Chains A and B, each alone.
Chain A
Amino acid sequence: MKCIRVSAIVFLSVLSLACLFADFLAPAPYAQQFRDEPNASASRQHLLGTDDLGRDRFSRLLYGTRVSLLLAPAAALIASVLAALVGGIAGFAGGRLQSSVMAATDLFLSLPWLFLLITVRALLPLNTTPVTSVIITFALLGCLGWAAAARVICSSVRSLCSSDMILLARASGSGGFRLLCRHILPNVKPVLAAQFWISVPVFILTEANLGILGLGVAEPMPSWGSLLRELESFSALSSQPWQFAPIVLLVVTVSCFHLALRKQELWA
């Protein structure tokens, strides 16, 4: 099992590096059109062929992976920070504040995630520049994905607050802020790290869902969601199998996150 986890981490590292150096590895810019070769088959020049606008699929896959793989952790970071703030404060304060904050969190969790997301996404401009759409999509995922993590953080902080260690620190005169920064936060860090790693694949999948529905990253910028949208125009499963490369890469990457995640949970 350890071997599988190590392989998953190695795969994710290699993929991240490949995305970071997409400018050097990609044979063409993601928006460049080869107008003489639309819908070209896989060849030495175009490893995964070209799309209906004549853009190199391999280049778009590399750049799309960069967008999804680098911004999903950024969204997870926003969600984790929000969860730490909401859950941490509610758990530390306890009493009515905790009850009311957790009631609001429960209500937030009752809303089906995708319904909430498309409602909020619709509030924001749909016809934006590609870069703005990337920022909006992932910031939204981060801002709306904190609720489940906040519940976990709140219960961790609550159990820490009633531990002997914190009672002793209180008895020796430690104030609220000092307790929070010196004793509680360092002990909640592993739980937060686990929540962060759990959120990353969730956000990758949600971005893909939003992208396919046309509410994600705007063209011509590629992301896994917008690349998968291309599948809508396919007529059969068997023709041009290389067109399914984004699905395969997405499934393998999310699986690797799940496999690596168990390691993170063990650390927690």
Chain B
Amino acid sequence: MRLAPGFGVDEEELDSRLSAESVQSIREAHSQVESFPVFYARSITKLLHGDFGYSQTLHEPVRQLLVERFPETLKSVALGLAVGWATGLSLALLAVMSRSVFIDVTASLIASLLLCIPAAVIALLFLLAQAPGRMVVGLIVFPKIYHYAHNLLQQCASLPHVQTARAKGLGTFQVILRHILPIAAPQLCALAGVSVSIAFAATIPVEVLCDIPGIGQLAWKAALGRDLELLVNLTILITLITLLANAAGEMADHPLQRGEA
């Protein structure tokens, strides 16, 4: 961004009404962030002290912007994950346990179709149909959950002890709860971590097109306005959340694997 044309130059400098002193003070204000290592050293020090900097394009402290917008994104991500996981996992379970070709083919077709449509197009179609935009995140998460869970559950269901349990007349619910889910749980936990990252990425087109004031829309505005401070903080925040989600998935995975052993 520093190498991009126009970086460090304020449009206000072109205002003919400003005096030479004012223009000089604007230039001085921008020259403070010119040094690359100094900028990052200062940013990290400020971050450690809870200061997220100031957005040049939105003229507001980044912390305030994040506080205002983060709950909106969390709502979208939580709803999206809930919808995606509930639909994906239940359809995968239904397809595997019922052994019905119709359910399997229909669910696979829907999931494959959704994989072939860009998130932004789904958001636009929802906008045209006047449907709630937040549901789009669920539709983006769903096919990935369905495909992965379907393959995993199918492998688990074909294990000899599961087939023996079914042959001995154990009910479907009992087979799922006692024999399939305990084996599939560690990998499903890992998938949960990855799905958080997918959901956050989907919030950008959804929030931009459906006009939801979350951090996805904020990132887009920051990108268009080349707001370095805002973009850096947003990227760090999203990376941290994703890393935490992945780490939580792995942490949940270890006790499950120990229990299995």
- A, B: real partners: yes
Binding site for B on A (CB under 8 A): 107, 110-116, 118-119, 121-126, 201, 205-206, 208-209, 212-215, 228, 231-232, 234-237, 247, 250-251, 254-255, 258
Given contacts A111-B242, A112-B198, A232-B209, 12 further A-B contacts (CB under 8 A): A112-B201, A112-B242, A114-B205, A115-B200, A115-B204, A122-B222, A209-B205, A212-B118, A213-B205, A214-B224, A250-B116, A254-B115
B246 near A110 with CB under 8 A, answer yes
B243 interfacial by beta-carbon distance below 8 Å: yes
B1 near A122 with CB under 8 A, answer yes
- Note all chain B residues with C-beta closer than 8 A to A118: 204, 219-220, 223
Binding site for A on B (CB under 8 A): 1, 3-5, 112-113, 115-121, 124-125, 128-129, 197-198, 200-202, 204-205, 208-209, 219-220, 222-224, 226, 231, 234-235, 238-239, 242-243, 246
A205 nearest in chain B by CB position:
B118
- Note all chain A residues with C-beta closer than 8 A to B116: 201, 205, 250-251, 254-255, 258
- Note all chain A residues with C-beta closer than 8 A to B1: 122-123
Question: By DSSP majority rule, is chain B's interface helix, strand, loop, or mixed?
Answer: helix
A110 near B124 with CB under 8 A, answer no
* Complex-state Cα separation, A122 to B218, whole angstroms: 13
- Note all chain B residues with C-beta closer than 8 A to A212: 118, 120-121, 124, 205, 209
Known A115-B219, A213-B205: A250·B197 in contact at CB below 8 Å: no
B118 near A232 with CB under 8 A, answer no
* Complex-state Cα separation, A33 to B157, whole angstroms: 60
A214 nearest in chain B by CB position:
B224
- Point out which of B223, B235, B239 has the most chain A C-beta atoms below 10 A from its C-beta: B223
Complex A-B, nearest 9 residue pairs according to Cβ-Cβ distance, in ascending order: A112-B201, A122-B223, A212-B120, A254-B116, A208-B118, A118-B223, A114-B201, A123-B1, A110-B242
* Complex-state Cα separation, A74 to B21, whole angstroms: 51
